[in-house]
């Protein structure tokens, strides 16, 4: 049974490489392809093969974009004195959904990762430092992930950036809204206590 | 941001239609396509567009197959006197993985579903009844899902099948292995008590 169709097995292997998709979910996805109308499946395949032509990197911030410069960098209503540094374009998606930020972004396209041999020279920060040098940017928010690699990356960048005339911030780390303190992992809870803010 | 790429949004919508894939997972999958090498993405797209040509329905049992008759129906070592009735080809996959069954299968390609207006005449059972008529099959195992639609389908089929000279079984329903009784939902637990078996 396991080898009833070469393509079935290859597709299961392909889909398993999506983040968060295990072998069973991948199998379920291929079964669902088999139940779809052939035309729907063809449409999906052609969109997949076009996505790389359609979406490129913004030459200013590395965000995904269909244009040379992305819709955020080219938006006249954004605050051009503020830049938020994230690891991946999907972090921009998440932040934009909040509607709480109106500045620019810069995407590192990764983070420092000593275990995977990703060092400072591999981080994509040349364009960022050039822009800081130009002097238009007054504030930088470090929004790398609050995990080991993200914290390391934040520390590394803060060192690099502190020689420019900008104010540097770290996105607030603490207990998430809507949770109960008894269920928060103790690392987060400890951090939230250490970072507690005075009530004005 | 939401409309930065037409194809991005269309793919998120396509992937969201996979079972168990929500909007967020679909977005993550498309982001991961964007991070893959273009050639890998092309390969995946071409496999997806070929899957329907590669995989068809077995003309005997409706299982997915690359041949006219699937590898189970054509396997000389399978017990041809026993047939297991399932709703979907993926159920065959699941049962085959157990290595506990050596008979044949018959796939209904669905179940009765009064709420979705799927009645007995929509079930794909003509070929099954013909085979029972021929008289080679001695035992039938009903392995439809233990949910409302699956139980209804089992009852409906048992009525239809009982006029042939075969012994009919229902796959055992009860508490799963490796669980703790206090955590089993009470419908399952009640069923498991009602179906308790004498110790020989």
Running DSSP on this structure, what letter comes out for residue A123?
Answer: S
Domain end point (choices B13, B33, B54) = B54
Residues A99, A44 share a domain:
no
Preferred mutation among B15, B51, B62, B77 to probe A, highest tally of A CBs within 10 A: B51
Residues B8, B100 share a domain:
no
Q: How far is CA A14 from CA B17, B36, B40, in A?
A: 18, 11, 9
Residues B121, B36 share a domain:
no
Q: Which of A25-29, A59-63, A178-182, B154-158 comes out lowest in average pLDDT?
A: A178-182
Cβ within 8 Å of A, B 175-194: none
Q: In this predicted model, which residue has the larger pLDDT, B102 or B183?
A: B102
Answer yes or no: are the C-beta atoms of A60 and A69 closer than 8 Å. Answer: yes
Residues B189, B171 share a domain:
yes
B-chain CB neighbours of A102 within 8 Å are: none
Cβ within 8 Å of B, A 7-36: 7-8, 10-11, 14, 17-21, 25, 27-34
Domain end point (choices B54, B78, B94) = B54
Residues B128, B157 share a domain:
yes
CA Rg, chain B, in Å?
21
A-chain CB neighbours of B48 within 8 Å are: 11, 33, 41, 44-45, 48
Residues B166, B107 share a domain:
yes
Residue B103 domain flag: yes
Cα-based torsion angle of the residue sequence B185, B186, B191, B195 in order, rounded to the nearest 10 degrees: 100
The alpha-helical segments, DSSP class H, found in chain B are: 6-16, 23-35, 38-54, 89-98, 126-134, 148-161, 186-194
Residue A78 domain flag: yes
Could you tell me which of B25, B105, B29 has the C-alpha nearest to residue B73?
A: B105
Q: Quick one: pLDDT at residue A104? A: 96
Residue B95 pLDDT > 80, yes or no? yes
Domain end point (choices B54, B81, B98) = B54
Residues B95, B74 share a domain:
yes
Assign B1 a pLDDT band (cuts: 50, 70, 90). Answer: very low
Residue A59 domain flag: no
Q: Do B31 and A89 touch (CB under 8 A)?
A: yes
Residue B59 domain flag: no
Assign A1 a pLDDT band (cuts: 50, 70, 90). Answer: very low
Q: Which of A81-90, A113-122, B107-116 comes out lowest in average pLDDT?
A: A113-122
ipTM (interface pTM): 0.71
Q: Which domain holds residue B29?
A: 2-54
Assign B12 a pLDDT band (cuts: 50, 70, 90). Answer: very high
Preferred mutation among A18, A70, A88, A109 to probe B, highest tally of B CBs within 10 A: A18
Residues B113, B147 share a domain:
yes
Work out the mean pLDDT of chain A and round it to a whole number.
Answer: 88
Q: How far is CA B78 from CA A189, B63, B65, B73, B171, in A?
A: 59, 15, 17, 8, 19
B-chain CB neighbours of A89 within 8 Å are: 31, 34
Residues B146, B93 share a domain:
yes
Report pLDDT digits (tens) over A131-157: 999 999 999 999 998 888 888 999 999
Residues B94, B45 share a domain:
no
Residues B110, B25 share a domain:
no
Domain with residue B16: its CATH number is 1.10.8.420
Q: In this predicted model, which residue has the larger pLDDT, A192 or A136?
A: A136
Spatial separation of the C-alpha atoms in residues B105 and A189, rounded to whole Å: 54
Beta carbons within 8 Å of A33's beta carbon, 6+ residues apart:
A11, A41, A44, B48, B51, B52
Spatial separation of the C-alpha atoms in residues B83 and B106, rounded to whole Å: 7
Domain count, chain B: 2
Residues B40, B90 share a domain:
no
**Cβ-based neighbour number of residue A64 at 10 Å:** 25
Residues paired with residue A104 on neighbouring β-strands, in sequence order? A83
- Stretch B9-37: mean pLDDT, rounded? 92
Work out the mean pLDDT of chain B and round it to a whole number.
Answer: 88
Residue A154 domain flag: yes
Residue A82 domain flag: yes
Q: Quick one: pLDDT at residue A200? A: 63
Q: Residue A14: which H helix or E strand, with range? A: helix A6-16
Spatial separation of the C-alpha atoms in residues A31 and B120, rounded to whole Å: 24
Cβ within 8 Å of B, A 49-88: 49-52, 54-55, 64-66, 70-72, 88
């Amino acid at each position: 049974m396991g080898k009833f169709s070469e393509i079935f097995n290859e597709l299961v292997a392909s889909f398993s490489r999506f983040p968060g998709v295990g072998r069973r979910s991948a199998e379920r996805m291929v079964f669902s392809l088999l139940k779809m109308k052939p035309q729907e499946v063809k449409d999906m395949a052609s969109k997949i093969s076009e996505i790389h032509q359609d979406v490129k990197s913004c030459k200013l911030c590395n965000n995904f974009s269909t244009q040379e410069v992305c819709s955020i960098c080219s938006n006249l209503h954004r605050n051009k004195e503020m830049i938020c540094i994230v690891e991946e374009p999907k972090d921009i998606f998440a932040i934009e959904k909040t509607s709480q930020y109106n500045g620019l972004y810069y995407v590192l396209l990764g983070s420092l990762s000593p275990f995977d041999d990703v060092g400072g020279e591999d981080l994509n920060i040349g364009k960022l430092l050039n822009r800081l040098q130009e002097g238009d940017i007054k504030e930088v928010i470090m929004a790398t992930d609050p995990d080991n690699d993200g914290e390391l990356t934040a520390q590394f960048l803060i060192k690099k950036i502190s020689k420019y005339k900008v104010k540097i911030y770290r996105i607030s780390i603490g207990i998430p809204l809507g949770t109960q303190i008894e269920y928060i992992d103790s690392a987060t809870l400890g951090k939230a206590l250490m970072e507690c803010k005075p009530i004005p």
